[in-house]
Structure 1
Amino acid sequence: MAISLHYKVHAVCIPSPFQSHIKAMLQSAKLLHHKGFHITCVNTEFNHRCFLKSRGHHSLDGLPNFRFEAIPDGRDGLPASSYESSTTQDMYSLCENIINDVLLQPFLDLLAKLSDSSNNVNPAVSCIISDDFMAFTITAAQRLGLPSALFFTISACSFKGLKQFQTLKEKGLFPLKDESCLKKEYLDSVMDWIPGMAA
């Protein structure tokens, strides 16, 4: 069903700042855009630069009702040295900052900018679609009275694996007991009890 031309739903889509999550969210955002949504995709500035570097400086220009925004460097809680790398950021620290809601205030600031009525470029933000791992977006949506949806961007195989945490604990495989569990022999252990997943 297409959206009325008189009112465009403005969905802000924010994936976890990791490549496969960004790719999955971008595919979903494209489908919503095709159905008439105004889309704003949000990345960290680091990932935004990586995207431009891989696709070309003007690759994100000229898309009607589909735009990209970034949470600026330094507002994601990482030290300045982490922005100098051309490959990847400190995943552990980034995950910790996501869990500890470090990105909440920068995200709220961005939502305020996007909904600024003096800026007649975009319709006001209507809803937030976020990666399931970005729990701070729920808090942002509640504070602003916006509907939100969580999008689980991992593969079916990963999801089935996550559902096995209880079994891993029962079998004594999780949590890891000591550093000996980090050896190749242990890490190559076959887990053949997960229904629908071939060993």
Structure 2
Amino acid sequence: MAASDAAPAPPHPHPHALILPYPAQGHVIPFMELAQRFLDRGFHVTFVNTEFTHGRVMTADAGATSWTGSSSAAAGGGARLRLVAVADGIEDAGDHENLVLLNAAMPEAIPPQLEPLLDGTGEGLGKVTCVVVDVAMSFALDVVKRRGITSAALWPSSAAVLSAMVNAEKLIRDGVIDDDGAPLNLVNNSFHLTEFKAPMDATFLAWNYMGNRDAERLVFHYLATIAQTAATKTDYLLCNTFADIEPIIFTDSTPTIIPIGPLRTWQRQTRHGPIGHFWHTEDVMCMSFLDAQPIGSVVYVAFGSISIMTAEQVQELALGLQASGRPFLWVVRPEQASKLPVGFMDDVDESRKGKVVGWAPQEQVLGHSSVGCFVTHCGWNSTLEGIRNGLPMLCWPYFLDQVTNQTYICDIWKVGLRVAPAEGGVLVTKSRIMELLDGLMEDEGVKERVLKLKETAESNMSEEGASLKNLNILMESFESKTF
């Protein structure tokens, strides 16, 4: 056959990433930002949530139409993004947020549903060429490996906690912890991950901060299992962090864990709303209040989607904020609102010095010039968002790695203050809250240090930043295995 008669070569397919987060807001948010990065580079993306989470995200985000590409609801033949829902294996509608039941059900229910998605059956985007799973969804890696698909596992919290999880067996052999994760041999309340690493605070064994030993034992075995599975069955182990804030982990020239963060910390001109949140309300209530306040004056209070306070503590916090004389914006979830003092909402509205809302667009709030400090539960997303916006933090952790992150904020980075002892159980009074707010917002050293961290975070995700380079290398690797 003459060269001129040869059939044209088929067009190269686009790389196609399947992304699978754990069904919790703190996991979905950074994974959606990662998906956006893949879309920016020209990938096709299949984003998989459980049905329960998918419904909440789609309702809150009005179909995710602010994404580059289009949502599953609007997808036509050329769409590059598909949002997919899979059953989580939970039959009782009231149990979808029961993490014990969820963690037991998903490994059986989800992998068979991934098979047709990986094959690209009936969805127009073609076969999946690469996969990024949450470390907490590492059970999905077996079906991925059977197809020979390149994969990565992303941990959306700190690398220190992930390192402790991955090294759990070694810590047991070294006598640092027992077979159920409880500390055995701590020196000055610290331990060594390896002989070459600096000592790490006991709070980096995050599973020991549940307040219940039976629960801690269960969580330890769960975390150690998912981390070990991810470390041994994936091609790349990723973390939503940057090396400069965790030098205790990133001291090796070729680290096992690859930092690609901070994810979810920059503005996009095409984005009109916060992707991945489970709640939605009008932004105007929050932002118009902030617009009316002096620069750097507002105390922003938000404790995430899980933390719970006693009614007595909620009332002390309310009275402390009110008596501080500082303007405040406080996110009080609907199920917690009944704990507020009688008449508090009316007093706040009348004074115009405070605002209580059921939900807030946190990234927009933290980036507003009137916000001067962040009272936080120390979730990793919130911690990174506080750093990214250069805000001192008042730390009020609830459990698990939130206690670890408090150690980073208060003891290592020195950009915040503790509200209560790590063991908890102490009522923080109105006067103590006032004292802490004054101390934090008037400490120029804290402000200087957190602004330096802000610059470092921005640098890492800039064009020449180390984390963005890592992310680009990952995507290049995925692209090279497409054809």
Q: Aligned to 1:40, what secondary structure does the other structure show?
A: strand
Alpha-carbon separation, structure 2, partners of 1:163 and 1:146: 23
Q: Aligned to 1:150, what secondary structure does the other structure show?
A: strand
Q: Which moved more, 1:38-47 or 1:102-111?
A: 102-111
Root mean square deviation of aligned Cα: 3.8
Bigger radius of gyration among the two: 2
Does the CA-based 8 Å contact 1:15-1:22 persist in structure 2? yes
CA 1:41–1:145: 2 relative to 1, 3 Å:
same
Equivalent runs, 1:13-162 vs 2, <5 Å? 13-57=19-63, 59=65, 60=71, 61-62=73-74, 64-72=79-87, 76-82=88-94, 89-98=97-106, 100-112=107-119, 115-116=120-121, 119=122, 121-155=124-158, 159=162
* Higher normalized contact order (CA 8 Å, seq sep 6+, divided by chain length): 1
Alpha-carbon separation, structure 2, partners of 1:138 and 1:32: 20
Query: C-alpha deviations, 1:18-46, integer Å up to 9, x for none?
Result: 11101111101100110111011000011
CA 1:56–1:177: 2 relative to 1, 3 Å:
closer
CA 1:91–1:12: 2 relative to 1, 3 Å:
same
More helix as a share of residues:
2
Query: C-alpha deviations, 1:99-129, integer Å up to 9, x for none?
Result: x4442222224334xx23xx47212111111
Does the CA-based 8 Å contact 1:128-1:137 persist in structure 2? no
CA 1:163–1:56: 2 relative to 1, 3 Å:
same
Query: C-alpha deviations, 1:118-156, integer Å up to 9, x for none?
Result: x47212111111011111221011122211111111245
Does the CA-based 8 Å contact 2:118-2:127 persist in structure 1? no
Alpha-carbon separation, structure 2, partners of 1:128 and 1:22: 15
- Provide TM-score, normalisation by structure 2: 0.32
Shift of 1:69: 0.5
The one-letter code matched in structure 2 to 1:107 is: L
Query: C-alpha deviations, 1:71-122, integer Å up to 9, x for none?
Result: 03xxx22123337xxxx62122112224x4442222224334xx23xx4721
Does the CA-based 8 Å contact 2:117-2:128 persist in structure 1? no
Q: Which moved more, 1:164-173 or 1:10-19?
A: 164-173
Does the CA-based 8 Å contact 2:89-2:108 persist in structure 1? no
Return 5+ residue gaps in structure 2 as ranges: 1-10, 66-70, 177-181, 190-201, 203-207, 217-309, 311-397, 419-483
The one-letter code matched in structure 2 to 1:46 is: F
Alpha-carbon separation, structure 1, partners of 2:152 and 2:101: 25
Q: Aligned to 2:137, what secondary structure does the other structure show?
A: coil
Alpha-carbon separation, structure 1, partners of 2:123 and 2:413: 51
CA 1:12–1:158: 2 relative to 1, 3 Å:
same
CA 1:193–1:130: 2 relative to 1, 3 Å:
closer
CA 1:196–1:71: 2 relative to 1, 3 Å:
same
Shift of 1:159: 4.7
Shift of 1:178: 5.4
Q: Aligned to 1:96, what secondary structure does the other structure show?
A: helix
- Provide TM-score, normalisation by structure 1: 0.70
